[in-house]
């Protein structure tokens, strides 16, 4: 894969995606003595960068594949991304979710974005078997959340826009879970200018990418204890190879660092971002890489977070 793939993906999807804005903060720049540019994929359609990859991959399907429909398993942003992309392209979408998935995610996927939700037991085996059976029976095309070149190329278009919106960046930070976003980002950035540093940021509690880069082979997460619920997955061979080649360093951050960065973005910048979406800024603020006087691109991956409890608190205060 190369920059060319990202450019082609961008041409393919640019009339449908939101060209998300860049947000800056005087306070943040003062604190860090640097110039930080947030690429706000929380403003993307369905609230996360995932829409870029899903739409790119699904729009590349043949007429026969479109006719049969697509399937994926996810209870996160990828589910909503596939559901919305399929809806916009007039294609049937099935999403396999554990029966324990939060109702808010089921509703968004089914009611807002019109996909068919299939429930499975909350185990990896049940998830795979349920999905496989449906594919065997109906020949649906499986859209993997990151182990797919077209999904990676779509994800890379966020960095492609960022580098066109902000000239002269010294470094770019992106979160890493399964590695789709970081793969697409690093191909894009290094393809445009190999002198720009690319950093992947990962919660310490799910540091498979960090350990994989050290050992030179794919390591597996030992827990899934992170509030960054979009980053709990492991790298695939595909994303590991791309990251090994293109990424300068993986930075790990504590749960407290994630929460602090998220709180800064909410309180001072007035943006709703999810914990995973705040990780890239947490990496910038973690002092593991010298950033003084640098021009820094930061990909904010998404803004989907359950606000029920918060709005219930306000609801209780209402006097009619």
**Residue 318 interacts with a second copy (CB under 8 A): yes or no:** yes
- Residue that has been written with the tokens 């590349």 in this structure: 60
Q: Which is nearer to a second copy, 132 or 224 (CB)?
A: 224
Residue 315: Cβ within 10 Å count: 9
Known catalytic residue at 75: yes
Half-sphere exposure of residue 301, counting CA atoms within 13 Å on the CB side? Answer: 36
Concerning whether 204 is annotated as a catalytic residue, the answer is no
Kindly tell me which of 64 and 267 has the beta carbon lying closer to a second copy.
Answer: 267
Q: Which of 10, 12, 39, 45 is close enough to bind a second copy by CB under 8 A?
A: 45
List of E strands, 79-211: 93-98, 116-120, 141-142, 171-175, 197-203
Residue nearer to a second copy on the CB measure, 4 or 268 = 268
Among 168, 216, 292, 319, binds a second copy (CB under 8 A): 319
Closer residue to a second copy (CB): 249 or 260:
260
Per CB under 8 A, 220 contacts a second copy: no
Stretch that binds a second copy, among 169-177, 214-222, 239-247, 305-313 (CB under 8 A): 305-313
Listed residue (131, 112, 148) closest to 72, CA to CA: 131
253: contact with a second copy by CB under 8 A: no
270 binding a second copy? (CB under 8 A): yes
Buried (b) or exposed (e) across 38-66, using 16+ Cβ within 10 A? bbbbbbbbbbbbbbbbbbbbbbebeeeeb
Question: Residues 165, 244, 254, 288: which binds a second copy (CB under 8 A)?
Answer: 254
Report the candidate in 36, 116, 112 with the shortest Cα–Cα distance to residue 73. Answer: 116
Distance CA 32, CA 51 (A): 31
In contact, 318 and 213? CB cutoff 8 Å: no
Q: Is 245 exposed, middle or buried (0-12, 13-18, 19+ CB in 10 A)?
A: exposed
Cα angle vertex 233, ends 184, 262, to 5°?
80
Per DSSP bridges, beta strands 22-23 and 35-40 are antiparallel
- Does 145 sit near a second copy (CB under 8 A)? no
231/177 Cα distance (integer angstroms): 4
Is 230 a binder of a second copy (CB under 8 A)? Answer: no
Residue closer to a second copy, measured from CB, 17 or 296: 17
Identified catalytic residue from 25, 35, 75, 276: 75
Stretch that binds a second copy, among 75-83, 122-130, 193-201, 302-310 (CB under 8 A): 302-310
Backbone angles phi, psi at 89, to 5 degrees: -95, 5
Kindly indicate which of the ranges 75-83, 176-184, 238-246, 252-260 contains the residues binding a second copy, using the contact rule CB under 8 A. Answer: 252-260
- Tell me which of 45, 50, 105, 197 is the catalytic residue: 50
Chain residues in the site for a second copy (CB under 8 A): 21, 23, 26, 40, 42-43, 45, 47, 205, 223, 225-227, 254-256, 259, 262-263, 266-267, 269-273, 275, 303, 307, 309-311, 313-315, 317-320
Active site residues: 50, 75
């Amino acid at each position: 894969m190369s920059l060319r793939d990202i450019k082609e993906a961008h041409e393919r999807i640019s009339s449908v995606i939101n060209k998300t804005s860049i947000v800056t903060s005087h306070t943040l720049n003062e604190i860090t003595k640097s110039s930080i540019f947030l690429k706000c994929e929380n403003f993307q359609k369905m609230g996360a960068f995932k829409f870029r990859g899903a739409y790119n991959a699904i729009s590349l399907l043949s007429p026969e594949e479109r006719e049969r429909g697509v399937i994926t398993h996810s209870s996160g942003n990828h589910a909503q991304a596939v559901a919305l992309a399929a809806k916009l392209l007039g294609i049937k979408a099935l999403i396999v979710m554990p029966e324990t998935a939060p109702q808010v995610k089921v509703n968004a996927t089914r009611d807002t974005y019109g996909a068919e939700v299939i429930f499975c037991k909350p185990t990896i085996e049940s998830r795979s078997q349920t999905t496989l059976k449906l594919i065997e029976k109906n020949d649906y095309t499986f859209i993997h959340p990151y182990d797919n070149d077209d999904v990676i190329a779509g994800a890379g278009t966020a960095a492609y826009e960022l580098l066109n919106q902000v000239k002269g960046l010294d470094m770019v930070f992106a979160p890493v879970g399964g590695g789709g976003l970081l793969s697409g980002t690093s191909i894009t950035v290094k393809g445009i200018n190999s002198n720009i540093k690319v950093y992947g940021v990962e919660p310490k509690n799910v540091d498979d990418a960090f350990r994989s880069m050290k050992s030179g082979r794919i390591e597996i997460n030992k827990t899934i204890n992170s509030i960054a619920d979009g980053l709990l997955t492991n790298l695939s061979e595909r994303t590991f190879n791309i990251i090994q080649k293109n990424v300068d360093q993986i930075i790990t951050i504590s749960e407290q660092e994630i929460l602090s960065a998220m709180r800064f973005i909410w309180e001072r910048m007035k943006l709703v971002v999810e914990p995973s979406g705040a990780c890239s800024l947490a990496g910038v603020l973690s002092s593991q890489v010298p950033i003084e006087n640098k021009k820094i691109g930061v990909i904010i991956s998404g803004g989907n977070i359950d606000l029920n409890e918060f709005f219930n608190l306000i609801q209780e205060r209402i006097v009619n």
